[in-house]
């Protein structure tokens, strides 16, 4: 699939400022970030005379949509009639000044009509807008509302809808695809983000973004629209991929998969999807264009039940992190790329550390000078675990593998460690979940409160598969660096709780260098960032998404740039 570029997509941002000077400055910032036009909410601006609005509109440096909301939170003396009069005054001025778009609330359009606006305009396009708050509008209700908006004679119609669930966005996509006049849609709230990112696939000519690189609920930053998603490449044939998770804001997947799609010429887009009910999500978004999904917290185990088929490894683990909709029959097939990604990252770090120690001690100098060590490392990286059997040459074999977390990622690590011959010990806040997982991998479960004091032997491996330490809680760590032990009423001894671990792995990758990893490095442990697992599992996912090879060098380079 070749990606075509469209030149007619407009990227807009909304400006709500109290003064004319702030409006002008914000407009300049929007222009710098790549916005094609701005929506000026003039109801937010304080002005004593209409001439101030005229000055602003005359000084605009970008094409604009002028709007004046009757339900604005800003108070005007004189009450509702004063607001309505001010609204009509501002909108008529915008038409007289030939502003590109003038937006009129449906309530106003039905009350006073828009014939005068249509007759007075030269080039201005009239938008009739409607805002739906509360409820979950059906296709039928939206269709009736759009018909009412169209009956006013508007050039463009606009729908802004508060959504409760991500599935509430689907009817908006249907309206975009079937509306007979240009339609602007926006789903308000975190779960409405895909209304902007996927809108162009369903025919949207305009998408909205937030200013300043920060996300507004339901709006991606303009810089992301322009640099990460490049929505001008999206069309009706684009395949949709995304991360199903809750929360989802921490995901770096879009930063990796979208450039990789473009690099390989694959017509796809990868978006964050804040999903509450995964079964309902798949019921609603059942089209073949919704082609593949990463699965994150807390859905990895529940996702197994959503699949028509599950890969044997994922089935044994009891968790999937990747789902593909098979093109031939539309069935959902589940996989787990977390397992090999995390375990091989740990194995390779152990082997590389061993080689460094050998080099530092000048042991086997001739062997180091030869290419045998490099050959050994390459053989390790190419090792595959067949049929889930233990690889006895693994550096993990025989070691105590301490696992924190018994969710989807924890299950992948537990089964991977077991298959490599490690002794798995599991800690989880929910002890019953820890026991269930321990039983599945013939391991051991211990109370979470015992994690700091657990010292079965030196040289253990610690793997954090919980969300402890993830943004925004970057100051947290599942294991204390130093533990104070009471020897008597008057004497205590400090013990390095992390000192028994040869290697510490953290599946958390936001931030890249978590508190756990920093403190583990300080006591001399080998540390492996969740970024390495992220890259490896993403490579596996990309191959499944595209039914081809992933551009490994390009994707690794992208991660180094973006993370």
| Cα 420 from Cα 229, distance rounded (Å) | 39
Quote the pLDDT of residue 307. 98
User: Per the domain annotation, does 549 fall within a domain?
Assistant: no
Q: What is d(CA 383, CA 389) in angstroms, rounded to the nearest whole number?
A: 12
Q: Which of 184, 204, 219 is the last residue of a domain?
A: 219
Structure tokens at 263: 């690099």
Alpha-carbon span 324 to 309, nearest angstrom: 10
Instruction: Tell me how far apart the alpha carbons of residues 82 and 90 are, in angstroms, rounded to a whole number.
Output: 12
Tokens of 289: 């264009």
Task: Give the integer Cα–Cα distance in Å for 514 and 16.
Answer: 37
Handedness of CA 347, 351, 356, 357 (dihedral sign): positive
pLDDT, residue 121, reads: 92
Contact in structure between 66 and 101 (CB atoms under 8 Å): yes
* pLDDT at 474 (0 to 100): 94
What is the pLDDT at residue 365?
A: 60
pLDDT digits (tens, 9 = 90+) for 69-109: 987 655 555 556 788 899 999 999 999 999 999 999 999 99
463, β-bridge pairs: 403, 505
- CATH number for the domain including 475? 3.40.50.720
Q: Which of 201, 150, 210 is nearest to 172 (CA)?
A: 201
Are 43 and 190 part of one and the same domain? Answer: yes
**Where does the pLDDT of residue 362 fall: very low under 50, low under 70, confident under 90, or very high at 90 and above?**
low
- The answer on 211 and 353 residing in a single domain is no
C-alpha 449/C-alpha 480 separation (Å) is 12
Percentage of the chain lying above the pLDDT 70 cut: 89
Name the band, by pLDDT with cuts 50, 70 and 90, for residue 390.
very low
Q: Is residue 387 part of a domain?
A: no
Kindly list the distances between the CA atom of residue 278 and the CA atoms of 16, 107, 222, 268, in Å, as whole numbers in the listed order. Answer: 36, 37, 29, 22
- pTM value? 0.86
pLDDT, residue 387, reads: 45
Domain that holds residue 136: 7-219
Residue that terminates a domain, selected from 156, 188, 219? 219
How many structural domains are present in the chain?
Answer: 2
Cα 418 from chain centre:
31
The dihedral region occupied by 79, where left means phi > 0, alpha psi between -120 and 50, and beta the remainder, is left
The answer to whether 87 touches 68, Cβ cutoff 8 Å, is: yes
Q: Does position 229 have pLDDT exceeding 90, yes or no?
A: yes
Strands 206-208 and 10-15: parallel
Is residue 269 one of the residues assigned to a domain? no
Distance of CA 136 to the CA centre of its chain: 24
Asked, for residue 404, whether it belongs to a domain, the answer is yes
Tokens of 19: 């003064």
27, 80 Cβ separation under 8 angstroms: no
CATH assignment of the domain containing 204 = 3.20.20.70
Residue 469 in domain = yes
Distance CA 44, CA 331 (A): 50
- Give 334-352 pLDDT, tens digit per residue: 999 999 999 999 999 999 9
- How many Cβ atoms are within 10 Å of 58's Cβ, its own excluded? 8
CA distance 480 to 474: 14
Give the number of other CB atoms < 10 A from CB of residue 524. 11
Spatial contact of 340 and 536, defined as CB atoms under 8 Å apart: yes
Tokens encoding 331: 């069935």
User: Do 39 and 180 belong to one domain?
Assistant: yes
DSSP assignment, residue 210? Answer: B
Q: Is 331 within the bounds of a domain? A: no
Section 525-529 average pLDDT: 97
CB neighbours (10 Å) of residue 155?
16
Rounded to whole angstroms, how far apart are CA atoms 137 and 139?
A: 7
Q: Is residue 440 part of a domain?
A: yes
Q: What is the pLDDT of residues 275-329, one digit of tens each?
A: 999 999 999 999 999 999 999 989 999 999 999 999 999 999 999 999 999 999 9
More confident residue, 368 or 442: 442
Report DSSP letters for 145-162, one per residue: HHHHHHTTT-SEEEEEEE
SS3 labels along 347-405:
HHHHHHHHHHHHHHCCCCHHHHHCCHHHHHHHHHHHCCCHHHCCCCCCCCCCCEEEEEC
Specify the pLDDT at position 378. Answer: 58
pLDDT at residue 83, as a whole number: 87
Q: Which of 165, 186, 219 is the last residue of a domain?
A: 219
- In this predicted structure, the answer to whether residue 205 has a pLDDT above a threshold of 70 is yes
Angle between helices 530-546 and 253-264 (to 10 degrees): 40
Q: How far apart are CA 27 and CA 4, in angstroms?
A: 30
Check whether 380 has a pLDDT greater than 60.
Answer: no
Report the Cα–Cα distance between both ends of the chain, in Å, rounded.
Answer: 29
Q: Is the residue at 261 inside a domain?
A: no
Predicted pLDDT at 487: 45
Among 132, 154, 16, which residue's Cα sits nearest to residue 72?
16
């Amino acid at each position: 699939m070749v990606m075509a570029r469209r030149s007619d997509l407009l990227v807009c941002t909304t400006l709500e400022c109290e003064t004319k000077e702030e409006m002008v400055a914000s407009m300049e910032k929007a222009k710098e970030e790549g916005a094609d036009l701005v929506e000026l909410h003039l109801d937010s601006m304080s002005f004593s005379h209409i001439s101030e609005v005229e000055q602003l509109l005359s000084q605009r440096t970008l094409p604009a949509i002028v709007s004046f909301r009757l339900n604005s939170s800003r108070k005007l003396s004189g009450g509702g009639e004063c607001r309505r009069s001010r609204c009509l005054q501002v909108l008529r001025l915008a038409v007289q000044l030939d502003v590109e778009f003038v937006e009129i609330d449906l309530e106003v359009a039905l009350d006073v009509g828009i014939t005068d606006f249509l007759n007075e305009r030269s080039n201005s396009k009239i938008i009739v807008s409607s805002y739906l708050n509360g409820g979950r509008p059906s296709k039928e209700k939206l269709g009736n509302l759009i018909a009412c908006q169209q009956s006013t004679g508007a050039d463009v119609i606009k729908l802004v809808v508060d959504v409760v669930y991500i599935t509430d966005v689907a009817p908006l996509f249907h309206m975009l695809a079937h509306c007979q006049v240009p339609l602007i849609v926006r789903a308000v709230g975190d779960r409405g983000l895909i209304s902007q990112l996927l809108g162009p696939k369903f025919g949207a000519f305009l998408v909205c973004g937030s200013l300043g690189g920060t996300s507004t609920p339901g709006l991606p930053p303009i810089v992301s629209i322009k640099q990460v998603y490049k929505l001008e490449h999206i069309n009706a044939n684009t395949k949709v991929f995304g991360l199903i998770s809750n929360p989802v804001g921490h995901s770096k997947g879009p930063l990796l998969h979208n450039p990789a799609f473009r690099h390989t010429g694959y017509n796809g887009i990868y978006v964050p999807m804040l999903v509450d009910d995964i079964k309902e999500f798949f019921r609603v978004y059942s089209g073949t264009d919704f082609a593949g999904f990463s699965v994150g917290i807390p859905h990895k185990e529940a996702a197994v039940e959503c699949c028509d088929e599950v890969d044997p490894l994922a089935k044994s683990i009891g968790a999937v992190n990747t789902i593909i909709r098979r093109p031939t029959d539309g069935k959902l097939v589940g996989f787990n790329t977390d397992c090999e990604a995390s375990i091989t990252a740990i194995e390779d770090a152990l082997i590389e550390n061993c080689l460094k120690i050998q080099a530092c001690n000048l042991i086997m100098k001739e062997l180091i000078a030869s290419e045998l060590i490099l050959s050994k490392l390459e053989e390790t990286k190419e090792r595959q675990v067949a049929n889930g059997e233990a690889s006895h040459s693994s550096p993990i074999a025989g070691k105590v593998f301490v696992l924190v977390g018994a969710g989807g990622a924890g299950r992948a690590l537990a089964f991977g460690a077991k298959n490599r011959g490690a002794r798995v010990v599991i800690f989880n806040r929910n002890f019953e979940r820890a026991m269930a997982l321990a039983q599945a991998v013939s391991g051991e479960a211990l109370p979470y409160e015992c994690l700091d004091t657990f010292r079965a032997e030196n040289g253990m491996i610690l793997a954090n598969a919980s969300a402890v330490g993830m943004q925004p809680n970057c100051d947290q760590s599942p294991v204390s660096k130093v533990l104070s032990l009471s020897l008597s009423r008057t004497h205590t001894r400090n013990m390095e709780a992390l000192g028994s671990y040869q290697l510490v792995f953290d599946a958390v990758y936001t931030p890249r260098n978590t508190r756990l990893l920093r403190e583990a490095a300080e006591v001399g442990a080998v540390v492996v960032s969740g970024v390495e697992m992220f890259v490896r599992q993403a490579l596996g996912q990309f191959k499944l998404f595209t039914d081809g090879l992933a551009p490994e060098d390009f994707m690794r380079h992208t991660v180094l740039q973006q993370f």
